[in-house]
Amino acid sequence: MTNLLAQSEGLLDACGAQGSYICEQVYEWTNNKLLATGADWLLDRPIRILLIVVLAWTASKILQRSVLKFAQTIANSPTDPRLQTLRERGPGKLLMEERELKRAAARAETIGLVLRSLGVAGIWMVALFMILGQLDIDLAPLIAGAGIGGLALGFGAQSIVKDFLSGLFMLIEDQYGVGDIVDVGSASGTVEKVSLRSTTIRDVKGTVWHVPNGVISRVGNSSQLWSRALLDVEVAYDTDLDLARDVIQQVGDSLWEDPEWGGDELMERPEIWGVQDLGASAVALRLVVKTEPSKQWAVERELRMRLKVAFDKAGIEIPFPQQTVWHRNVDSVSHEAKAAKPAEKAESEDKPESEDEPKSEAQQNKKTSKVGSDSESQAES
């Protein structure tokens, strides 16, 4: 009995409370603590670590394959019967639904990539903790330290967390993608790169802007699925509006029938919506046309050039603000003023006194006194 207790204590001392099978067998065969401990570290623990690595690798591959299959299912599933008809007829001009499906497939692929990355990182993190446990490393202090460090990091890196969450929601909602022309408030241009952390935008001048996703409060996308070219064509008030409408419509139809433009750039025939504005010097007629994504500016430039040529041929005036300015030389004005003063003086001297001109009170009193003295002299005589 004593031998059994001693052997049990020796086994517990050599292999621990949860000793491995190899350690226990080696100790029972040799009754040597050093050999049992060596066999545990050289044989049993490496086998367990290898098993954990194999299981983690298998789980990560299964996760990646599942997410990839999910993304392919979304990319290949037609949401409209017309899309299947399009695929059966072969390549051709894509409808808007087909284009939307392609964007959804690209979005699903991007989200799948993010999910695969997060899932694989989580699996290997768990595997790392299990391996540390096999090496008899106490995980409690590590977990506590990681919790405190994570809390401190959370306070110090709130903007980074906000950027990642905003980027994830942008990808899920498909607010924009690579190649789109967007306005995010602080920058506008063509999207060159989208990540969970930031968005890279190149503006029309070639400047590259790196915008953190967390600071993007609004997004204006000018090239998602389709765009619209909009022109307010101004003509003079005395222009025949029916003639102007006919000329504008002819220009739009010619652009639609042009194989270089109508086949690749325009999605619908241009149309005139009517009188848009009665301005100070012109009447504005609105012309609109639905275009391929981000092609509206090229279409607008082509329409303006063709409208100018057509208006010149039809004799339609394109009004513009005019202003008449009268300019007088300062020296000539002062010379004319000096010459006018002597003429006014001479005219005042040559002018006879009018009989009806009112006299002053002193002159009237003098005349009255003279008349009175004459009357008195006549009475004395």
Residue 210's pLDDT band, with cuts at 50, 70 and 90, is: very high
Q: What confidence tens digit (pLDDT) does each residue in 140-152 have?
A: 777 776 677 666 6
Quick check: 134 pLDDT over 80? no
Q: What is the pLDDT of residue 335?
A: 61
Assign 133 a pLDDT band (cuts: 50, 70, 90): confident
**pLDDT value at position 176?**
86
Q: What pLDDT shows up at residue 99?
A: 63
Indicate if 108 and 181 belong to the same structural domain: no
Number of folded domains in the chain?
A: 3
201 and 232 belong to one structural domain = no
Q: What is the mean pLDDT of residues 157-176?
A: 82
* Residue 340 maps to a domain: no
Q: What is the CATH number of the domain that holds 260?
A: 3.30.70.100
SS3 assignment, position 266: strand
Please indicate, yes or no, if residue 370 is contained in any of the structural domains.
no
Return the closest-CA partner of residue 106 out of 75, 67, 78, 84.
75
The confidence band for 379, taking pLDDT boundaries of 50, 70 and 90, is very low
Contact 130, 52 (CB under 8 A): yes
Confidence band of 362 (pLDDT split at 50, 70, 90)? very low
Q: What pLDDT score was predicted for residue 341?
A: 58
Q: Please report, rounded to a whole number, the percentage of residues in the chain having pLDDT higher than 70.
A: 61
pLDDT tens digits for range 176-200: 888 889 999 889 999 998 888 889 9
Arithmetic mean of pLDDT, 95-111: 66
In a domain, 361, yes or no: no
Domain boundary among 253, 286, 314: 314
Where helices occur in the chain by DSSP H, the ranges are: 2-15, 21-30, 33-39, 45-76, 81-89, 96-134, 139-156, 158-173, 241-257, 259-262, 296-314, 330-350, 361-380
pLDDT at 336: 60
Residue that has been written with the tokens 């003086």 in this structure: 345
Whether residue 176 contacts residue 223, with contact meaning beta carbons closer than 8 Å, is answered with: no
Domain-embedded: residue 330: no
User: Is pLDDT at 156 greater than 70 in this prediction?
Assistant: no
Each residue's pLDDT tens digit, 26-82: 666 676 666 666 666 666 677 888 888 999 999 999 988 888 887 777 666 544 454
Residue 115 pLDDT: 78
Give Cα separations from 328 to 99, 289, 336 (angstroms): 66, 51, 12
13-18's contacts with Cβ under 8 Å and 24+ in sequence apart are 15/40
285/308 Cα distance (integer angstroms): 14
Domain shared by 181 and 255, yes or no:
no
84 in a domain, yes or no?
yes
Residue 234 has pLDDT above 90, yes or no: yes
- pTM for the full predicted model: 0.56
| CATH at 201 | 2.30.30.60
One domain, residues 89 and 213: no
**DSSP secondary-structure letter at 42?**
I
What pLDDT, on a 0 to 100 scale, did the predictor assign at position 294?
85
**Amino acid letter for position 334:** S
Position 83 in a domain: yes
Give 78-88 pLDDT, tens digit per residue. 444 544 454 44
Residues 233 and 210 in one domain: no
What does the longest C-alpha to C-alpha distance in the chain come to? 192
Average pLDDT of the chain to the nearest whole number: 75
Check residue 346 and give its pLDDT: 53
Token pair listed for 105: 């497939």
The DSSP bridge pattern shows strands 283-291 and 271-278 to be: antiparallel
User: Residue for token digits 């022109």?
Assistant: 231
Backbone φ and ψ of 283, nearest 5°: -110, 125
pLDDT score of 216 more than 60: yes
CA 228 from centroid of its chain's CA atoms: 17
Domain of residue 210 covers 175-221
214 falls within a domain: yes
Task: Look up residue 333 and give its two tokens.
Answer: 């004005």
pLDDT of the residue at 350: 53
Q: Which residue has the tokens 């990681």?
A: 146
Q: What percent of the chain has pLDDT over 90?
A: 27
CB-CB contact of 183 with 233 (8 Å): no
Average the pLDDT over 266-275 and give the result.
92
Of residues 373 and 285, more confidently modeled: 285
In a domain, 375, yes or no: no
Q: How far apart are the first and last CA of the chain?
A: 192
Convert the pLDDT of each residue in 289-342 to its tens digit: 999 888 899 999 999 999 999 999 999 988 887 777 777 666 655 666 566 556
Handedness of CA 185, 190, 191, 193 (dihedral sign): negative
Q: Which residues are registered as beta bridge partners of 234?
A: 284
